[in-house]
Amino acid sequence: MPETAGGPETFASPASEPLLGEPTASTPPATLRLRVAPPLPPVPVAEPPSRYAAMRCVQHTSVPASAQCHTCGAYVCPTCDFALPRGLHVCPACAVASQTKLSPKRKRSLYWTIALAVWCTTGLAALLGGVFASAVQTPGDEMVLGSLLMIVVLVPAVIGLSIGMSTINRRLVNPPILWVATIWNALVVGAFVILSVIGAMS
């Protein structure tokens, strides 16, 4: 073994040297790779049943209805539904049909409005013609007659006016007869109120 002046010379063992690519104290540890599980799919939420679910579509009788046509009252499924602003729904037949005619529902309302107007006008004409004058003998008879006329004339006129106002639709056609019947009932109501005020003041 060779010796030096200061003592025997030492050699580092080759085994003590780090191999190529081997981690040492100065080498940072390998980065850990974490596996992240994929997100879970959303839980399906059941939609509340439609209030028309018990009905069937007028075109597809095996499909539950989801809406009702505001023009003719027919029930429609989502495929046949024509949604309009303000939450209105129309069936295919009413969507393509000409709006120059009243629907059956509005036509019935018009008939009721005209019938009530004629009824109330007849009662008011009988009152103005003095038909009930012979029945009034005492102040008590006047009160009874006034109450009877209110039930027979005023109440039907108010009902006819309400039906006419509800039948008028600014988004649909409104024939002149509908306006005439509605205004007719309004005039009967006004005339009855004026006569009642005059009778109370006299």
Answer whether 125's CB lies under 8 Å from 139's CB.
no
> Highest-confidence range of 12-26, 94-108, 149-163, by mean pLDDT?
149-163
* DSSP three-state, residue 24: coil
- Could you report the per-residue pLDDT of 79-113, keeping only the tens digit for each? 888 887 777 888 888 877 655 667 778 888 889 99
Q: What is the pLDDT of residue 71?
A: 77
Beta bridge partners of 83: 89
Average pLDDT over residues 136-140: 64
User: For the whole model, what pTM was predicted?
Assistant: 0.49
d(CA 44, CA 64): 21
Answer whether 122's CB lies under 8 Å from 157's CB.
no
Q: What is the pLDDT of residue 22?
A: 53
Least confident segment among 91-100, 108-117, 133-142, 147-156: 133-142
How far does the chain reach from its first CA to its final CA, in angstroms? 152
